[in-house]
């Protein structure tokens, strides 16, 4: 017996405005809207609505809105509506609850409790419209030996590094979890911006090898799509040990999203769920990681930086120290609010720690051990704005991964239903009729716009601080002050409270 | 000249262009008032077949057969290349409707004349409304080398 | 209650000036006092100081430590520490002149030291690193004791007051050196702790600095990875450590150091000829965290020379001048004109362009 569960959202149609053009009906892959020939009117089935706002966006007369239902159970601060419904759902199906995108729970967002500094009198602000303002940076090891040639000139003894025009990279999102057009948009935007996008664990489609110099390829526990050419095509290789949305478990791609093309790229069968192992089965300890790092370096003739990506977990600082000593060039840390195409809800909502804390502790730990130059730090999950980027860099990051923000730029409305494979925006789907809804000619431009806008804002903020190069912002925690934080939080973040003078 | 082109690859078959076209040519400033409860008569049409969708409208042919076939001189090709119809001259014989290979000339709703797309130059829009509101950039307004 | 330097970050505005006789001819500290007095308004009476090079020819092979003591207990503990690590060749209180304008002076002592050979050998450190670590340890760990000068054949003299008064207080007219630098301080808040005045020194390096750098914490946190402890939390301290690190530990040239701390903009580097482009790009990629942003003009003193360097946007004033064997560096031209009205050459170096004046024949 299945218990009826009231849907969370209701489709509200202003019938005075609706012209029954049926665009909503044609654009809803979930079949919410329907034209009733008998009345000449549209009707909606709320139970199918995921609140993706495709219909709201496209309705030419703005006759639609989606509202949270006001239907309620008897109020209970402990047993919220969602909690109760989830119990019903599990009692109905016996299954693990699945969700997508990042942790939506109301945990504190520490970015919003950090304030930035600006120059007054004793030190001039710098005007980015009139003076050079540098957002360029290099990622990788900075452990160069000083060696000179016979003329006394310094030799380039630096290990391979990645050059970025802005401290932003598009984070790992696999082909399969997101569409061909989404990948094309990311790749083209990365190329135009002089930054990098990340293939995620789904391999690299043949069509995108041409963007190799702006591509980071991932090697995850499932080893999907990993082969020599794949490694060689990339600018850098990322070993995915974990992901912020689901620390401790492997990737999960529902079979419905494994089309012929995805199957070929991933080198796995079509239509069958692709579930990566929770661990890399050749890495059960840190020394094993070193071997994989070394193998990948050997395979690519030591020409490419190796990134090791971990989820932000309780012991992140010690793990990062181990990674820094493993030969990896870059550590990527993914906070518990990081996105995903599919994750068990309980894991997404309850496992991991905030990226702000993980970053602050890792940066401090590596410095106290004197090995901060061994690795660059890239943080993600979730970086929502240029202000978050600036705060992350001041806390000690070298650069930031953005995933959710990039998807939003492509049209995502955070309905968190990626795992259904029926993304109405053409992003998290493999259905050809839906995929074509994301035109990469526009998608890439929107990504370029977003990052360009953030770059301008970063320049403005840095200029205000009297800093004209990103290098002088990195780890410059005196530029941060906490607000609404406890002493413990301040200590962990390594910042002072607002109002405490220099 | 700049023409309206449709990239089938990106056309979603949402039919928004039809409504935007009908609205643009309605002479009414409010879309709800212009279209609510009415049969629309757009000058652009979506052809749907399964997953294939394609918007069709006047090609503004180099050597337009509609102009040649017009018995009253109502159809003409301007210096700007746009093929226009003069409603006052049109006698409603609909020969043009029959000869247009694209089905882009249509009988007007009153049945007394033909109608066709003039790239929104005749309705005060300035730019083609179907192009402006295509949600996927499938309809473009640009100059291309004509075969 | 005001906290003292080291308990808070303390930026300040300032006046700096320096002179060197490249032939090695000695001059007393008098002319420096005269020069800095012209820039009286750039200081506010809360700090002044001098560094003289070549002033201890009789003890030139020994490290000359100058120390402030707030208490006799601190002195006893520190001297015990010094005895454990060094042979104390000579020690005495530094002779000063009582002036009504200079108040609350701590105990001021001088020691000529040589590292104890066995202790040095056991440390597996080179001699200078051994000495530097001892200095850093005293300053970080010994309460109420502060080493403010630690080089060979050079000395720093500083305190709370206007620089011209501090110069007379230390009787600098009695010292003769081939190079001098001087600093007048305009801190935005200070309780008047003598250790907080400038120049700041480590071994034979001394730095006087005018400005307030915006990269401070990025620089500090990077430097602390290498055993430096920025206990004063002043710009001058971290700049000194950066120069010491790059010069002594990394073996960069002064020119290269300028390309690290006052690096040209990437856009400027891109337009340079290939060799310069490669070298400067490499230096920025190697030491990005040592780029200093925000306004600064510094005079770096070292054995055998002075280097003037301003920030890459040239946000602080700095002029250089030459007359015969003498070379001058100053925040303001007036200070130079005061001691040498007729000059062979005077110019304002570009932002980020180092000007180096050394004893003739110092290198090759």
Do A219 and A91 fall into the same domain?
Answer: no
Q: What token pair was written down for C274?
A: 């290939």
Q: Which chains touch A (3 or more CB pairs under 8 A)?
A: B, C
Residue A326 DSSP symbol: T
Q: Does A58 touch chain B (CB under 8 A)?
A: yes
Task: Tell me the C-alpha distance between C29 and C37, whole Å.
Answer: 13
Give the residue-averaged pLDDT of A291-320. 97
Q: What is the predicted ipTM?
A: 0.92
Its sign, for the CA torsion C144, C149, C150, C153, is negative
Cβ pair A58:B135 closer than 8 A: yes
Q: Taking the mean position of all CA atoms in its chain, how far away is CA A229?
A: 26
C-alpha to C-alpha distance for C78 and A382, rounded to whole angstroms: 51
Mutate to test the interface with C, among A472, A495, A499 (most CBs of C within 10 A): A472
Together in a domain, A142 and A80: no
A471 to C13: CB separation less than 8 angstroms, yes or no: no
Q: Give the mutation candidate from B35, B36, B37, B129 for the A interface (greatest A CB count, under 10 A).
A: B36
By the 10 Å C-beta count (0-12 exposed, 13-18 middle, 19+ buried), C156 is classed as: buried
CA distances from A42 to A8, A239, B12 (A): 21, 50, 20
Share of chain A above pLDDT 70, in %: 100
Cross-chain Cβ contact B9/A23 below 8 Å:
no
Q: Answer yes or no: is A467 within a domain.
A: yes
B60-116, CATH topology level: Alpha-Beta Plaits (3.30.70)
The nearest alpha carbon in chain A to B35 belongs to: A19
Q: What is the CATH number of the domain that holds A371?
A: 3.20.20.70
A417 shares its domain with A317: yes
Answer yes or no: pTM beyond 0.80.
yes
Q: Given CB atoms, is C358 within the 8 Å cutoff of chain A?
A: no
To the nearest whole angstrom, how far is the Cα of A167 from the nearest Cα of chain C?
A: 14
Give the pairing type, strands B106-107 and C176-177. Answer: unpaired
Q: Which of residues 198-257 of C touch A (CB under 8 A)?
A: 211-219, 221-222, 224-226, 250-252, 256
A501 interfaces chain C, CB cutoff of 8 Å: yes
Token pair, residue C16, equals 């700096």
**H or E segment at B75?**
strand B75-77
Cβ separation A60–B23 shorter than 8 A: yes
Average pLDDT of B105-123? 91
pLDDT value of position A388: 98
Are A414 and A276 in the same domain?
Answer: yes
Total domain count, chain A = 2
Residue B36 with chain A: CB contacts under 8 Å: 17-19
A181 with A65, same domain: the answer is no
A156 contacts chain C (CB < 8 A)? yes
Interchain proximity A472–C218, CB inside 8 Å? yes
Q: Is C8 in contact with A156 (Cβ distance < 8 A)? A: no
Q: Which of A180-184, A334-338, B47-51, C357-361 has the lowest mean pLDDT?
A: B47-51
Q: Give the distance from residue B39's alpha carbon to the nearest chain A alpha carbon, in angstroms.
A: 10
pLDDT at position A347 over 80: yes
CB within 8 Å of C56: residues ≥ 6 apart: C62, C64, C112, C152, C153, C154, C155
Please compute, for residue C304, the number of CA atoms within 13 A of its CA located in the half-sphere on the CB side: 7
Distance, in Å, from the CA atom of C291 to the CA atom of C215, rounded to the nearest integer, reads 8
On whether residue A302 sits in a domain, the answer given is yes
- Judged by CB atoms closer than 8 Å, whether chains meet at C8 and A501 is answered as yes
* Per-chain mean pLDDT for chain C: 91
Q: Does B52 touch chain A (CB under 8 A)?
A: no
d(CA A32, CA A21) in angstroms, rounded, equals 15
Which residues, including other chains, have CB under 8 Å from residue C351's CB and lie 6 or more apart? Answer: C262, C310, C311, C312, C313, C314, C315
- CATH 3.30.70.20 placement within chain B: 1-57+120-147, 60-116
Give the neighbor-by-neighbor strand order of the sheet with A480-482: A114-116, A480-482, A496-497
Q: Token pair of C46, please? A: 């809360």
What is the C-alpha separation between A68 and A488, in angstroms, rounded?
37
% residues pLDDT > 90 (chain A): 96
* Residues of C known to be catalytic: 14
Helix (H, G, I), strand (E, B) or coil at C42: helix
- Write the DSSP string, A244-256: TTSTTS--EE-GG
Note whether B23 contacts A: Cβ–Cβ < 8 A.
yes
DSSP lists the bridge partners of residue A497 as: A482
Overall fold of domain B1-57+120-147: Alpha-Beta Plaits (3.30.70)
Name every chain A residue with its beta carbon within 8 A of the beta carbon of C267. Answer: 132
Here the CATH number for the domain that contains residue A76 is: 3.30.70.20
List domains and CATH numbers for chain C.
24-358 (3.60.20.10)
Contact with chain A for residue B54, Cβ under 8 A: no
Q: How confident is the model at residue C36 (pLDDT cuts 50, 70, 90)?
A: confident
pLDDT at A413: 97
Question: Is the pLDDT confidence value at C8 over 70?
Answer: no
Mean pLDDT for chain B overall: 93
User: Domain containing A83: what range?
Assistant: 9-95
Nearest-CA neighbor of C301 among C117, C215, C177, C185? C177
Q: Is residue A278 part of a domain?
A: yes
At A381 the pLDDT is: 95
Crossing angle of helices A355-368 and A316-324, in 10° steps, is: 50
A265 and A323 in a single domain? The answer is yes
C360 touches A: beta carbon within 8 Å: no
| B27 prior amide bond cis, ω within 30 | no
Q: What is the pLDDT of residue C1?
A: 43
- Report the candidate in A185, A268, A220, A154 with the shortest Cα–Cα distance to residue A438: A185
Q: What average pLDDT score do residues C294-300 get?
A: 94
Cα–Cα separations (whole angstroms), residue A152 to C244, C256, C260: 20, 12, 17
β-strand partners of C24: none
């Amino acid at each position: 017996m299945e218990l009826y569960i009231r849907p969370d959202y209701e489709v509200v149609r202003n019938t005075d405005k609706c012209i029954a053009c049926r665009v909503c009906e044609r654009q809803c892959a979930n079949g919410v809207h329907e034209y009733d020939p008998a009345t000449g009117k549209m009707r909606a089935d709320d139970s199918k609505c995921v609140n993706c706002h495709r219909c709201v966006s496209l309705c030419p007369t703005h006759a639609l809105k989606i509202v949270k239902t006001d239907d309620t159970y008897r109020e209970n601060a402990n047993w919220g509506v969602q909690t109760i419904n989830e119990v019903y759902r599990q009692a109905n199906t016996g299954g693990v609850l699945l969700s997508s995108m990042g942790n939506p729970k109301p945990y504190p967002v520490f970015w919003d409790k950090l304030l930035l500094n600006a120059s007054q009198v004793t030190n001039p602000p710098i005007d980015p419209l009139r003076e050079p303002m540098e957002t360029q940076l290099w990622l990788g090891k900075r452990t160069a030996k000083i060696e000179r040639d016979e003329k006394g000139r310094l030799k380039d003894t630096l290990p391979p590094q990645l050059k970025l025009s802005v401290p932003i990279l598009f984070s790992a999102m696999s082909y399969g979890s997101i569409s061909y057009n989404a990948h094309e948009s990311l790749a083209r935007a990365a190329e135009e911006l002089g930054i990098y996008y990340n293939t995620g664990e789904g391999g690299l489609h043949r069509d995108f090898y041409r963007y190799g110099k702006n591509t980071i390829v991932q090697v995850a526990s499932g080893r999907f799509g990993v082969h020599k050419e794949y490694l060689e095509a990339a600018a850098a290789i990322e070993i995915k040990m974990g992901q912020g949305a689901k620390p401790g478990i492997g990737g999960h791609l529902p079979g419905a999203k494994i089309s012929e093309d995805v199957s070929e790229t991933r080198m796995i069968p079509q239509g069958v769920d692709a579930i990566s192992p929770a661990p890399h089965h050749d890495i059960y300890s840190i020394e094993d990681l070193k071997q994989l790092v070394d193998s990948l370096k050997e395979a690519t003739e030591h020409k490419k930086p190796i990134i090791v990506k971990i989820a932000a977990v309780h012991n992140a600082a010690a793990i990062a120290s181990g990674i820094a000593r493993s030969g990896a060039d870059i550590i990527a840390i993914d906070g518990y609010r990081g996105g995903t195409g599919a994750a068990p809800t309980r894991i997404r909502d309850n496992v991991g720690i905030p990226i702000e804390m993980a970053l602050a502790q890792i940066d401090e730990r590596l410095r106290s051990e004197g090995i901060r130059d061994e690795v660059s730090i890239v943080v993600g999950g979730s970086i929502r704005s240029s202000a978050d980027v600036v705060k992350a860099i001041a806390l000690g990051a070298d650069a930031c991964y953005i995933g959710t923000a990039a998807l939003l730029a492509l049209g995502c409305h955070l309905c968190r239903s990626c795992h259904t494979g029926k993304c109405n925006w053409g992003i998290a789907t493999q259905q050809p009729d839906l995929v074509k809804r994301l035109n990469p000619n526009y998608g890439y431009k929107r990504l370029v716009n977003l990052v360009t806008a953030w770059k301008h804002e970063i320049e403005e903020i840095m200029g205000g601080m009297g800093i004209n190069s990103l290098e002088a912002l990195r780890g410059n925690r005196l530029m941060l002050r906490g607000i609404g934080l406890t002493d413990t939080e301040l200590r962990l973040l390594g910042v002072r409270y607002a109002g405490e003078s220099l | 000249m700049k023409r309206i082109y449709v990239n089938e690859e990106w056309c979603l078959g949402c039919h928004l262009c039809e409504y935007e076209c009908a609205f643009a040519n309605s002479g009414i400033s409010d879309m709800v008032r212009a279209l609510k409860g009415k049969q629309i008569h757009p000058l652009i049409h979506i052809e749907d077949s399964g997953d294939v969708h394609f918007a069709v409208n006047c090609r503004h042919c180099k050597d337009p057969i509609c102009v040649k076939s017009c018995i009253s001189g109502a159809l003409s090709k301007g210096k700007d290349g746009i093929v226009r119809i003069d409603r006052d001259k049109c006698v409603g014989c609909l020969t043009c409707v029959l000869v247009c290979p694209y089905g882009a000339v249509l009988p007007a709703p009153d049945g007394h004349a033909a109608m066709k797309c003039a790239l929104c130059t005749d309705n005060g829009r300035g730019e083609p409304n179907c192009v402006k509101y295509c949600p996927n950039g499938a309809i473009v307004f640009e100059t291309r080398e004509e075969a | 209650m005001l906290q003292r330097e080291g308990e808070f970050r303390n930026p300040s505005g300032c006046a700096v000036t320096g002179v060197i006789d490249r032939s090695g001819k000695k001059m007393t500290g008098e002319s420096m006092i005269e020069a800095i007095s012209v820039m009286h308004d750039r200081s506010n009476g809360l700090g002044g100081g001098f560094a003289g090079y070549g002033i201890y020819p009789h003890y030139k092979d020994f490290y000359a430590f100058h120390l402030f003591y707030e208490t006799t207990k601190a002195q006893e503990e520190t001297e015990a520490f010094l005895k454990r690590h060094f042979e104390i060749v000579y020690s005495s209180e530094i002779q000063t002149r009582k002036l009504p304008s200079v108040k609350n002076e701590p105990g001021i002592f001088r020691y000529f030291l040589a590292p104890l050979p066995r202790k040095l050998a056991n440390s597996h450190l080179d001699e200078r690193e051994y000495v530097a670590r001892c200095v850093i340890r005293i300053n970080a760990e010994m309460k109420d004791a502060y080493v403010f000068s630690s080089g060979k054949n050079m000395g720093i003299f500083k305190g709370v007051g206007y620089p011209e008064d501090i110069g007379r207080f230390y009787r600098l007219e009695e010292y003769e050196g081939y190079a001098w630098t001087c600093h007048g301080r305009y801190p935005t808040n200070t309780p008047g702790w003598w250790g907080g005045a400038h120049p700041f020194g480590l071994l034979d390096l001394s730095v006087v600095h005018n400005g307030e750098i915006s990269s401070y914490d990025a620089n500090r946190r990077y430097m602390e990875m290498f055993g430096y402890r920025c206990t004063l939390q002043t710009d001058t301290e971290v700049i000194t450590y950066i120069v010491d690190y790059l010069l002594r530990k990394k073996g960069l040239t002064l020119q290269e150091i300028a390309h690290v701390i006052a690096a040209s903009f990437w856009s400027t580097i891109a337009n340079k000829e290939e060799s310069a482009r490669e070298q400067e790009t490499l230096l920025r990629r190697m030491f990005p965290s040592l780029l200093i942003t925000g306004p600064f003009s510094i005079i770096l003193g070292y054995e055998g020379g002075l280097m003037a360097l301003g920030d890459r946007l040239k946000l602080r004033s700095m002029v250089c001048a030459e007359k015969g064997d003498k070379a001058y560096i100053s925040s303001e031209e007036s200070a130079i004109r005061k001691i040498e009205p007729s000059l062979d050459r005077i110019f304002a170096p570009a932002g980020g362009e180092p000007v180096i004046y050394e004893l003739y024949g110092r290198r090759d």
